[in-house]
Amino acid sequence: MRRRDSTPSRYARHGYSRPVHHAPLAIAVDFGGTKVEAAVVDADGALLPGSRHRAPTGAGSSAEAVADSVREVVAGAAAAATADGRPVVGAGIGSAGPIDAVLGTASPLNVPSWRGYPLRDLVADTLAPLVGEVPVTLRIDGEAIALAEHWVGAARGATAMLGMVVSTGVGGGLIIGGRTVPGPTGNAGHIGHIAVGGATDRCACGLLGCVEAVASGPRTVAWAQSQGWSGRTGEELAAACREGDAVALAAVRRSAHAVGRGIAAATALLDLDVVAIGGGFSHVVPDYVALVAEPIAECDFAFVRKVRVVPSGLSGDGPLIGAGALVHRAALLG
């Protein structure tokens, strides 16, 4: 595969001076542990209607099957952009981590068939015959979500924020001083692998007690099963919570409190103002975000207690909008 320069296009660098009717488009890709999605995002942070495509990834899929899913959704989004007629000036990828933003590779913890996989080149090579050669930027999914919330979501204009996803995994991304903080490899902000005090759950990363090992959707379901609950999925767990099942409710509270303790630790380190939480499992109960805030309120430090924990303002669109923001808001990339 050919390597692509991830440098933003001249439109990203110079504020998109084209006329409104030529406002450029970005191809947005959200790669996760169970699915990959792609869509077209415009310069106002909106998804182009009809451009969203989804395909499975998953722990049991071969490397080539996962790559085929990426090709499928990217080609679908590219077709929608071509039909729209406006120029595509770049593509952004928000991927589950770890990643290597320099090499453009992804090693998603929950997709074991991909280790050091050249995801950036895969997307670039898929797009080249469809929309031409465009710059492709790969960042961790949490950073993309932080950009989305900062741009058009629940944390607009924040100067010190964490964007979080609670789903198959638990990820995060940072904006400090109004710019993203990716770190040398692109993995900064990965709050899912902060240790939760007292937890001994073994994480897929090899350590004990990580937020992700306690709080992710699959791990929460597994804990409930270990306590005698007979369901199998996050959807069934949500239904059990609605019915007042004590074990299901305890499992969700355990998840939320682990996330809250992770946020308290991150705030003590970084003096955060806002944390915006999205991801499918964050909707398992209506008060999940309120449960997250409970352990934070127990901290004696006022500067930790002052952090606002809010639900994503973008629902399920946040990861894709954030991937598009890697192109449209490239000036904020650290």
Q: Are residues 129 and 181 in the same domain?
A: no
Of residues 169, 149, 158, the one with CA closest to residue 99? 169
Contact of 90 with 78, CB cutoff 8 Å: no
Asked whether residue 3 is assigned to any structural domain, the reply reads no
Q: Are residues 103 and 126 in the same domain?
A: yes
CATH of the domain at 268: 3.30.420.40
Classified as helix, coil or strand, 99 is strand
For the beta carbon of residue 331, count every other beta carbon within 10 angstroms. 11
Distance in angstroms (rounded) separating the CA atoms of residues 225 and 276: 29
Q: Are residues 298 and 326 in the same domain?
A: no
Helix (H) or strand (E) holding 142: helix 141-152
Distance in angstroms (rounded) separating the CA atoms of residues 264 and 119: 33
Of residues 60, 106, 28, the one with CA closest to residue 325? 28
CA distances to 21, 178, 268 from 16, rounded to whole Å, are 12, 20, 38
Q: Are residues 60 and 132 in the same domain?
A: yes
Which amino acid appears at position 132 of this protein? Answer: G
Q: Quote the pLDDT of residue 21.
A: 52
Q: Are residues 167 and 251 in the same domain?
A: yes
Asked whether residue 236 is assigned to any structural domain, the reply reads yes
The sign of the torsion formed by the CA atoms of 256, 258, 259, 263 equals: positive
Q: Are residues 84 and 121 in the same domain?
A: yes
For the beta carbon of residue 112, count every other beta carbon within 10 angstroms. 13
Range of the domain at 223: 157-313
DSSP character at residue 223: H
Q: Are residues 161 and 302 in the same domain?
A: yes
Contact of 16 with 23, CB cutoff 8 Å: yes
Taking every pair of Cα atoms in the chain, the longest distance, rounded to a whole number of angstroms, is 61
Distance in angstroms (rounded) separating the CA atoms of residues 199 and 7: 41
Please list the pLDDT of the chain residue by residue as tens digits (334 residues).
444 444 443 334 334 343 345 789 999 999 998 899 999 999 999 999 999 999 999 889 999 999 999 999 999 999 999 999 999 999 999 999 899 999 999 999 889 999 999 999 999 999 999 999 999 999 999 999 999 999 999 999 899 999 998 998 999 999 999 999 999 999 999 999 999 988 999 998 999 999 999 999 999 999 999 999 999 999 999 999 999 999 999 999 999 999 999 999 999 999 999 999 998 999 999 999 999 999 999 999 999 999 999 999 897 899 999 999 999 999 999 9
**Burial class (CB within 10 angstroms; exposed 0-12, middle 13-18, buried 19+) of 129:** exposed
How many structural domains is the chain composed of? 2
Q: Quote the pLDDT of residue 197.
A: 85
Please, what is the end-to-end C-alpha distance for the chain in angstroms?
A: 26
Number of residues that make up the chain: 334
- Alpha helix ranges (H) inside 153-245: 211-215, 217-226, 234-242
Distance in angstroms (rounded) separating the CA atoms of residues 108 and 33: 7
Q: Are residues 244 and 191 in the same domain?
A: yes
**Burial class (CB within 10 angstroms; exposed 0-12, middle 13-18, buried 19+) of 222:** middle
Q: Are residues 16 and 119 in the same domain?
A: yes
Tokens coding 216? 């992710």
Of residues 33, 174, 31, 52, the one with CA closest to residue 105? 31
Q: Are residues 206 and 293 in the same domain?
A: yes
The sign of the torsion formed by the CA atoms of 166, 117, 151, 183 equals: positive
Helix (H) or strand (E) holding 131: helix 119-131
